[in-house]
Structure 1
Amino acid sequence: MKLLDTLHRWTGGLIGLVLALLGLSGTILLHKGLWIGVPGAGDAQRQDLATVAAATEKLMALPGDPQGIIYATPRLGLHQLRFGEDAGLYANQSGEVALRWGSQWERPELWLFDFHHHLFAGDSGEWVIGIAGLCGLFFVVSGIILWWRTRRTFQLRLWPKRMSRPAIVMHHRDLGIVVAPLLLLSIVTGTMMIFRPFALGVVAPFGPVAETAKALDLPKYKGGPLADRPDFAAMLAEARRRYPAAEFRILSLPRKPGDPISLRMRQQAEWLPNGRTTIWFDAATGKVLGAHDALAMPPGAQAFNKAYPLHSAKVGGLALQILMTMSGLSLTLLGSLALWSFWFRRPKPAKRPVKKTLLAST
């Protein structure tokens, strides 16, 4: 038990700051729709084919080589157009530009998202976050085990009684046991999105791992070069014909010659806010190359697709938003105070008594 206690303290001391910042940034992003501050952000979502097609044709004809559109949602009534070098714009659902930016640093929701998902370091940052997630998982499980010894002294406080190390440790221990289920949900679902082997282990009870892994690797299609004026309206019409009740979510142009145009949709039974139902179109002719129905995926893959909506509280309404907000703020508080108590409030080593040597007089 002493070894577990030592590992728990060192885990908190070394990884506490990363977990605290991830908790804080995630909590802010949960409520992005409330503070984004762009005209039209609160507009009701419109998904009728005529409106979406007209806005798509208008926006994709803008100068600057648009790379794709993220369509408006019930929480954010704006389309987001993406360009190269982190440039982009928001437009209302009629296709009128509401706000432009030349870099993600001009929009707090963009750089916060980049920090929360990549630590501003791309794939390397994802690895750091994934390792922090695994450490956080150990931190929660070991904390539950260590709390059991002191359960009789339990006192729930939102803030330590005083900023001394014993008070912080007691607060950390007792608050941690209360929010442990929420922290497990946040950490497990977040780590699932980064480390595929970990995710496959979590969803293994839902079906064979090999079947799930194969289903998560979407097919790749090849077509001709991108046409000068792709018929986006015809593509959207074909997509609506195939999936009449599905939302249009993300339209993406090819990243390199031969890649198709892809359109992601969300069927009503899908939890994932941007859906996994996808149609691929030949970039030269606009003909359908293939389609993927997310609801036909095996149970393990569908369970995996629920990780992000749970992590970001995109399902469950206000109740889950409140719970995940509590999880994020608790992680921020526990991580930062663990760091403080470990590095700045460590007990001073006891001084050994100095033996005085008596010199015999001659």
Structure 2
Amino acid sequence: MAGKAFLILADGWQAEGVSVGAEGTVWGEVVFHTALTGYPEIFTDPSYWGQILVMTLPHIGNYGTAAEEWQHEKPMIRGLVARQVSGFFSRAGRAVGLPEYLRMHGIPAIAGIDTRALVRRVRQKGAQNALLTTTPPTQEMWEKLIQYPSMQGTELASQVTTARPYTVGEPSGLRIALLDFGVKKAILDQLVQRGAYVGVFPAYTAPEALQAFEPQGFLLSNGPGDPAAMPQAIATVSELVKWGRPILGICLGHQLLSLALGVPTYKLLFGHRGSNHPVKDLRTGRLYITSQNHGFAIDAAELERHPDLILSHINLNDHTVEGFVHRHLPLQGVQYHPEASPGPHDSHEVFDEFMAAVRLQAVLPSR
């Protein structure tokens, strides 16, 4: 028989449900995701480090989870909230049930609560810290919740980045140096599929070490936390910009590129997390349905005032910035996730555009 679990938000909202994961107590920022499928990819996305994730779909877990879907070797969410989690699953191949998977990795989860009411609360009051526990809440737990650091001002990339450099792809390919702030496996796959030889480097690698790889382009990956709390990474990106080689920033990487160019970021009320967010490419008028996962955005007014940057993509739900390009340098940032995983493949061409710029760089005379 399943035991009880409890969820308490920092503003006092609380719910009691059943435990469908590991036993224990966790604190983190509570956020929600609206995807209908793809929970194995979502739960293993390093961008969710430090967060308690609410799935808006009423029922998840019916197809278990398998290694080929994982974006990291282990789940990266702090805790899970769902209306119902299936204890049974059905699929071909090797897989494990979702409750078993969560228990294996020590992830507490609560089910049997009104997730619609919870999501409405988060939309109205904003993403906030929460407590998820499988034991009756205590005053000590509540006090820790009140004192728990806000996501704003918190650096987390150092907790999810690779410990040492490694490479993927064929050495004969175009050389891309990727700064790993919490990279998803799908981003590496997209680059390798396009003929890249990718050197994956820890988040705070010095520019000189990146230069030693002799890259023809740079990719700044996705990741968790507040980009403004990463001055060392911003300084590194500023140096990379001076070298004039193609740079693609994705999600957190997009924000770091923006900050390196002098355009500030800010925290969204509840963020964008889902696989059906409409984005418009202002250069072509084309619309994309995109996968998204971010709690920060770049300042649209400051971007449009920047003499060298062009707003290239907007979110059609709230008109926040979804992308920019540089007028003179081969620099591009996209807030959404062109690799998807999960989500539609509409925007895979972002990688085509980046690799085309890298190929052009490869044939130009060295500076």
What TM-score results when the alignment is normalised by the length of structure 2? Answer: 0.27
Q: Bigger radius of gyration, 1 or 2?
A: 1
What TM-score results when the alignment is normalised by the length of structure 1? Answer: 0.28
Give the helix-richer structure, 1 or 2.
Answer: 1
Give the strand-richer structure, 1 or 2.
Answer: 2
> Which structure would you say has the larger RCO, counting Cα contacts within 8 Å and 6 or more residues apart?
1
